Amino acid sequence: MKFMGVDAGGTKTRMILCDENGNILSSVLGGPGNHLDIGIDGLKNTLLDCLQSVHHDLREIDACVLGLSGAGFSQKSCNRLCELIRPVIPARKLLVVNDCVIALKGSFGPERRSGTLIVAGTGSMVIGLDCNGQLYRTGGWGHIIGDVWSAYGIAFEAIKEVMRYWEDRGEFTTLVNHVESFLDLHSVDDVLRYFYVQKPSKSHLASFAPFVLESARYGDRIAQTIVQRAVDELVQAITPVIKSVNSDFLSYTGGLFRNPYFLSSVQNGVKRTLNIPLSEPYLPPIGGALIMAIESIIPTKEEIVQNLKKQFKEFENS
């Protein structure tokens, strides 16, 4: 049997094909997959590009789970997206869910059935699952009204602090130099043109976040304040979800957590406020998609999950 998992995020799309024992047959990396940014046709093109590199008979795929950035959490919304995508992915069984759902599933491991996951990448969210299969969430409001602890949110706050300095109502920060060199913005007018005329993608602005974290790590007070505000907001968002799922398991996913300064800041904030540990995810989000695909057809044995974990670890070290 063959199973496919797809993790279609705001920046990139990952597609993996495996057999019923969790042996990975093909792994492909593609472009952005958030249909709210690139449209349904853009998503279809991304998926088609990935599928062309799978090099297996796609008609033999028994089940595919697509974790889609920007997908809703209602069954009606996901079913509608599923029907739109079905002509592209010729799997016998196709399931579309929000990409945070596959990340949550991947973080659990073979035994766990409930817990909470922090998502901090281009966007942000806290999502939890209780023992009855009920989902809970906070955040995930999108870049216009939310995403405070996301890469986009951190970068956005940094640019506003630089603008305050340019207007002589804020103190100097090394972020000024980074904004000028990386984003090629040198004045308030440049920033206004950047947002209102050029209208950058979310991923482009989010790519500035590592410079904020670097400045914070080297002691820039303004950058440290921005990061701390994001962490404080994040901890507040975790609290009601932890309470609802009635589990102290807390894990994480997203590009920001690859930065040691951000990871340690969140670990310290969670320990100080909630007094619980931050657990490393058992599998990456794409692993969660594969497990969900397999479970939709056959029971998932612990050996299958462990086999996937071993292979993902080998990918990281290669």
Residues 6+ apart with CB under 8 A from 220: 173, 174, 175
Type of residue at 214: E
DSSP label of 280: P
* Residue 120: Cβ-neighbour burial (10 angstroms; 0-12, 13-18, 19+): buried
d(CA 77, CA 35): 13
Question: What per-residue confidence (pLDDT) applies to 171?
Answer: 94
Q: Are strands 24-30 and 93-98 parallel, antiparallel or unpaired?
A: unpaired
Residue 212: predicted pLDDT: 98
CB 105 within 8 A of CB 292: yes
How far is the C-alpha of 27 from the C-alpha of 65, rounded, in Å? Answer: 15
Nearest to 278, CA basis, from 263, 292, 293, 290 = 263
Please state which CATH class domain 113-281 belongs to: alpha beta
Q: Of 78, 10, 74, which is closest to residue 42 (Cα–Cα)?
A: 10
Dihedral over Cα of 72, 76, 77, 78: its sign: positive
Domains 2-109+282-317 and 113-281 share a fold: yes
Q: What is the pLDDT of residue 317?
A: 63
Residue ranges of the chain with per-residue pLDDT less than 70: 317-318
Q: How far is CA 256 from CA 207, 210, 251, 252, 281, in A?
A: 10, 8, 13, 10, 14
CATH number of this structure's domain 2-109+282-317? 3.30.420.40
Query: What's the pLDDT at 318?
Result: 57
Closest residue by Cα to residue 98 from 129, 122, 77: 77
pLDDT of the residue at 299: 86
Distance between CA atoms of 49 and 134, rounded to whole angstroms? 35
Q: What is the pLDDT of residue 8?
A: 92
Contacts for 152 with CB less than 8 Å, ≥ 6 apart: 122, 123, 143, 202, 205, 206, 209
**Domain chopping of the chain, boundaries:** 2-109+282-317, 113-281
| Alpha helix (H) residue ranges in the chain | 35-51, 75-85, 99-108, 151-166, 175-182, 188-193, 202-206, 209-217, 221-245, 260-274, 285-295, 302-317
The pLDDT score that the predictor gives to residue 240 is: 96
Q: Is 220 helix (H, G, I), strand (E, B) or coil?
A: coil
Tens of pLDDT, residues 32-88: 888 888 899 999 999 999 999 998 888 889 999 999 988 888 888 889 999 999 999
pLDDT of residue 307: 92
In this structure, are residues 286 and 14 in contact, taking their beta carbons and an 8 Å threshold? yes
Helix, strand or coil, per DSSP, at residue 286 = helix
Identity at 246, one-letter amino acid code? N
